[in-house]
Amino acid sequence: MSLEQKAQVLEEAASAPCGVRDVVQKLKCRTSSAISLLKKMEQEKLIELAHATCPRRGRPKKIVTCTTLGFDFLKTYRKVKMKPLRARREDLERAVKDALYAERLVAHGHEAFKLFMELNAIANNIKISSEAFQNI
Please say if the pLDDT value at position 97 is more than 90.
yes
Tell which of 41, 62, 82 closes a domain: 82
Do residues 70 and 101 share a domain? no
Instruction: Give me the pLDDT at residue 69, please.
Output: 92
Mean pLDDT (the chain, rounded): 85
Do residues 13 and 64 share a domain? yes
How many structural domains does the chain have? 2
Do residues 19 and 63 share a domain? yes
**What is the full DSSP assignment across 4-59?**
HHHHHHHHHHHHS-EEHHHHHHHHTS-HHHHHHHHHHHHHTTSEEEEE-SS--SSS
Q: Domain containing 49 — which CATH number?
A: 1.10.10.10
Instruction: Give me the pLDDT at residue 133, please.
Output: 73
Instruction: List the domain range (segments joined by +) for residue 8.
Output: 3-82
Instruction: Give me the pLDDT at residue 94, please.
Output: 92
Do residues 70 and 106 share a domain? no
- Rounded average pLDDT over 37-56: 83
Greater confidence (59 vs 34) lies with 34
